[in-house]
Amino acid sequence: MERITIQPRNNWQSAVEKLGFGFHTTNIPYWDESAYYSFTMPEVLKLEKATAELWDLCLGAVQHVMDNNLYQQFGIPEYIIPLIEKSWTEDHPAIYGRFDFSYKNGDIKLLEFNADTPTSLYEAGIVQWFWLQDFDKSKDQFNSIHEKLIAYWRYLKQYLYDDTLYFTCLKETLEDLTNTEYMRDCAMQGGLETELIFIDDIGWDASREVFVDMKEKDIKNIFKLYPWEWMLKDDFGKNIAADKNKSLWVEPAWKMILSNKAILPILWQLYPQCPYILPAYFEADRLTDYVKKPILSREGANIDIIQNNLSIEKTEGEYGKEGFIYQQLCSLPEFNGNHAVIGSWVIGQQPAGMGIRESTSLITNNTSRFVPHLID
């Protein structure tokens, strides 16, 4: 794994905007093609193997949480547990997730699993692929994201209700909307009838106890780029539990377990011999060099890095009320002051590609940059 400095394409902004990538720059650059990461094929195969193995271990961990009724450690409300277990035993449709890895000196370590609302899908599946076609089309990428999404939506069609598949996210969130519309486009290419509805506009017909769109049509299938824990904070979650249509939500309710960082100590407890899993605990006194993480947080908020029992870097935010976990400190690979995290995608139960985000800080947060890669 090498970081190679290059000259960005002339007018690269217009090139990515033609792809519908409108959030390439905010007050700081997000898409960064002044460099790329180069991998050998053995390295890619190693990442692919780790992704497949960790996915299987995560499924085992979900069953363990249910069998031992460990929901309290996850801060999961009791009323939603029957839906979580129903969605698991009935194998409700799930399509994707993103493992965040440190890959340093040949060692792959799992930092966390974004299993419910992972973003950077569009950048990884589309934008970096078109960059490669302009940069050197003779090269390849670890990237079958687009093909696997279309194929898996086609496969999932038989498991959904014979009805419209709605796609939802918050209004006025360009990044979420881009990723949602990309996922919707893949579903349409997979032969599904779809419709976009903002989550703010989803209605509840109290007389019939069903979710409806703005035309009062029942919503039976819905893909959401909106976290389960947010939905459960108000009446929306109570309505999901009461829904007479038993609507199918993608990602399904059992993903609440995997998207919660409480899964990290569970994985360590179950699979301490796995070379990819870092020691992690619910107690702070088990480690001297560790990362303190809220069990529910986003974009690197409320993270505290502890070395020799002293904080060396931390971020602020609004998370932490539900509790924290403590994971052994694993330093990221550094390239001229840039710290790189590999996001390895699992789509339809299979490894599907990767995207790389880098930051000049030790904590990868919402100011990190997306940098393309290739196989050399």
**Per-residue confidence (pLDDT) for residue 306, from 0 to 100:** 87
pLDDT tens readout for residues 181-201: 999 999 999 999 999 999 999
Is the pLDDT at 26 greater than 80? The verdict is no
Q: What share of the chain in percent tops pLDDT 70?
A: 97
Instruction: Choose between 322 and 171: higher pLDDT.
Output: 171
pLDDT band at 242 (very low <50, low <70, confident <90, very high): very high
Tokens read off for 43: 């390295």
H-run or E-run covering 316 = none
pLDDT band at 364 (very low <50, low <70, confident <90, very high): low
State how far the Cα of 326 lies from the Cα of 279, in Å rounded to an integer.
8
The residue ranges of every structural domain in the chain are 2-260+332-375, 279-328
**Per-residue confidence (pLDDT) for residue 321, from 0 to 100:** 74
Find, among 74, 66, 77, the residue nearest to 238 by Cα: 77
State how far the Cα of 66 lies from the Cα of 61, in Å rounded to an integer.
9
pLDDT band at 363 (very low <50, low <70, confident <90, very high): low
Whether residue 77 contacts residue 236, with contact meaning beta carbons closer than 8 Å, is answered with no
State how far the Cα of 117 lies from the Cα of 175, in Å rounded to an integer.
12
pLDDT band at 297 (very low <50, low <70, confident <90, very high): confident
State how far the Cα of 222 lies from the Cα of 157, in Å rounded to an integer.
12
H-run or E-run covering 156 = helix 145-156
Is the pLDDT at 266 greater than 80? The verdict is yes
**Per-residue confidence (pLDDT) for residue 305, from 0 to 100:** 85
DSSP, collapsed to helix, strand or coil, labels residue 164 as coil
State how far the Cα of 359 lies from the Cα of 334, in Å rounded to an integer.
10
Is the pLDDT at 58 greater than 90? The verdict is yes
Is the pLDDT at 362 greater than 90? The verdict is no
**Per-residue confidence (pLDDT) for residue 320, from 0 to 100:** 65
Which amino acid is residue 212, in one-letter code?
A: V
**Per-residue confidence (pLDDT) for residue 323, from 0 to 100:** 86
The pTM is what? 0.95
User: Which stretches of 197-280 are DSSP H helices?
Assistant: 228-231, 235-242, 255-258, 263-270
State how far the Cα of 50 lies from the Cα of 53, in Å rounded to an integer.
5
Beta strand 290-294 with 280-281: parallel, antiparallel or unpaired? unpaired
Beta strand 35-39 with 373-375: parallel, antiparallel or unpaired? parallel
Instruction: Choose between 102 and 309: higher pLDDT.
Output: 102
**Spatial CB neighbours of 42, under 8 Å, sequence gap ≥ 6:** none
Query: If you compute the radius of gyration of the chain from its CA atoms, what whole number of angstroms results?
Result: 20
Instruction: Choose between 364 and 291: higher pLDDT.
Output: 291
DSSP code string of 75-120: T--GGGHHHHHHHHHTT----EEEEEEEEETTEEEEEEEE-SS---
Lowest mean pLDDT segment, chosen from 14-28, 208-222, 341-355: 14-28
DSSP letter for 1, please: -
**Per-residue confidence (pLDDT) for residue 226, from 0 to 100:** 95
State how far the Cα of 325 lies from the Cα of 52, in Å rounded to an integer.
25
Whether residue 376 contacts residue 40, with contact meaning beta carbons closer than 8 Å, is answered with yes
Residue 74 burial class via C-beta count within 10 angstroms: exposed 0-12, middle 13-18, buried 19 and up: buried
Instruction: Supply the angle between the helices 235-242 and 81-89 in degrees, to the nearest 10.
Output: 50
pLDDT band at 360 (very low <50, low <70, confident <90, very high): confident
Summarize the confidence of residues 8-36 as an average pLDDT.
Answer: 88
**Spatial CB neighbours of 181, under 8 Å, sequence gap ≥ 6:** 20, 167, 196
Find, among 180, 204, 202, 184, the residue nearest to 192 by Cα: 184
Summarize the confidence of residues 43-71 as an average pLDDT.
Answer: 98
Q: How many CB atoms lie within 10 A of CB 77?
A: 14
pLDDT tens readout for residues 64-99: 999 999 999 999 999 999 999 999 999 998 999 999
pLDDT tens readout for residues 145-172: 999 999 999 999 999 999 999 999 999 8
DSSP letter for 38, please: E
pLDDT band at 366 (very low <50, low <70, confident <90, very high): low
**Per-residue confidence (pLDDT) for residue 303, from 0 to 100:** 84
State how far the Cα of 1 lies from the Cα of 42, in Å rounded to an integer.
11
Task: Output the average pLDDT for the chain.
Answer: 93
